Each structure stands twice: as structure tokens, then as C-alpha cells.
Amino acid sequence: MKNLTKRAFKTELFEEFARIGKALSSGRRLELIELLAQSERTVEELAAETGMSIANASQHLQVLRSARLVDVRRQGTYAWYRLSDEHVLRLWLSLREVGEMQLAEIERIVEDFFKDRKDMEATTCEDLLKHLKTGSVVVLDVRPEQEYSAGHIRGARSIPVNELEARLKEIPKKKTIVAYCRGPYCVLADEAVAILRAKGFNALRFKGGFPDWKARGLPVERAIPP
């Protein structure tokens, strides 16, 4: 094989890989991926969640779709977007982990925002799995019901954080309560733990989120058919 042919092969190959990097080179697109890791959504829902215009959200989704990172299905006049497969979820989680390890600025931003977390005990995947096997905890999924229905930790109860105070009677006080949400940068579990502790519950925050649990191959279930 001629060197020129080898060089052309390598150039073309790595340019294709670079399409993935280019698609991920926007904070807004990374946020869209994190949301789609919870459940599929319409452009309108994604725009509302991220504070973008529908046109801007649609443009970012088209970039992700061109790199085969998201798929779309049509239902009437609506387009529903989802991650193309589990590899995209693992790619996002790996990128997040590398960023946390290598960029001190990420740690500073997180610490500045989550000032109260130092006093809020968190549980890991390993610890939560042990507690679930013994039945010593009640796990609350405090994300929106749509996300719970698309997939949740097996045995978790759905009580969205905005309904929590009205539904406290559904939660046993004699058990430890573990609240989880979308991931380590989501505030829903923090808000839930604060509410529960103020009402006298022994409550902990799950350190990760549903995508972290799912990516590790731990037990999950759905409330709706795939």
C-alpha cells in the first residue's frame, strides 16, 4: 500500500471521528443530550427546558442528528427526539467525567452553585444497591412523571418535587428516603431532600442520577412500553 493511500485513509477516517467532536462542541447541545438521556422530547419541550427559542433548539438538534447522536420520530405535527443509542449516553457521561477530573473551573462552578451540598449527605450507586436489596430505603424519583415513565430505578416511587409537600403522607417516616433526579448537576433531588428533612424525614441525595445508574447496567424498569 502506498504511503499516500495510507495518509488519505487516515485523514478521511479521523475527519469522520471529528464530526462527533464538532457536534459536541456546544454547551447547549450537551445540555440537550443530558435532557434526552432522561426521556424523548419534542423540540418545543426541549426549548422550554433550556430557555432557547424553538428555532435555536431545532438547529442544535439538527447538528446532533447529522452526527447520528440523536434520532427523531414523527407523530402528527410533532417531532420527538431521543438519543440514538446507549453509546451516546456513555459518551456524555465519559465527557462529563473527564471534564470533572481535568478542569478545575467545573469544580469551582459547581461548588459556588451548590453551597448547601456540604451539609447534605449523598449515597453512591453501590450503597444504594445494597440498601435496595435489604429493603431498608425508599427511593423517590423526583423528576417529572414523563421521565419516570420512560425509565427509572427499579422499585422507585414517582413523586415529582413540585408535588412532594402535598404527598408527604405517602412516604413512610421510619425508613431512610433516597431522592434522585437527572444527575449530579440537577437541583431537584437537593430540593426534595431539603423539604423532607424539614418535615422530619431521614433523607439522603443520590450522588448521580438515573442515567448514571442505567449506564452501569443496574436494575431499571419502565412505566410505558418501549
In tens, the pLDDT along 35-62 reads: 999 999 999 999 999 999 999 999 999 9
Q: Which of 181, 186, 188, 204 is catalytic?
A: 181
Give one DSSP letter per residue of 179-219, joined into a string.
EE-S-TT-SHHHHHHHHHHHTT--EEEESS-HHHHHHTT--
Domain 3-88, architecture per CATH: Orthogonal Bundle (1.10)
Looking at residue 4, what is its pLDDT? 66
Q: Tell me: the pLDDT tens digits for 125-145?
A: 999 999 999 989 999 999 999
Question: Can you read off the three cell numbers belonging to residue 153?
Answer: 430505578
Cell of 148: 419516570
- Percentage of the chain with pLDDT > 70? 97
Catalytic (active site) residue 181: yes
Q: Per-residue pLDDT tens for 113-128?
A: 988 787 778 899 999 9
Strands 176-180 and 220-221: unpaired
| First and final C-alpha spacing in the chain | 47
Q: How many residues make up the chain in this entry?
A: 226
Strands (DSSP E) found in 48-149: 70-75, 78-83, 122-123, 137-141
Q: What is the CATH number of domain 110-221?
A: 3.40.250.10
State the Cα–Cα distance between residues 65 and 180, nearest whole angstrom.
29
Domain ranges, ordered by start, for the chain:
3-88, 110-221
* pLDDT value of residue 37: 97
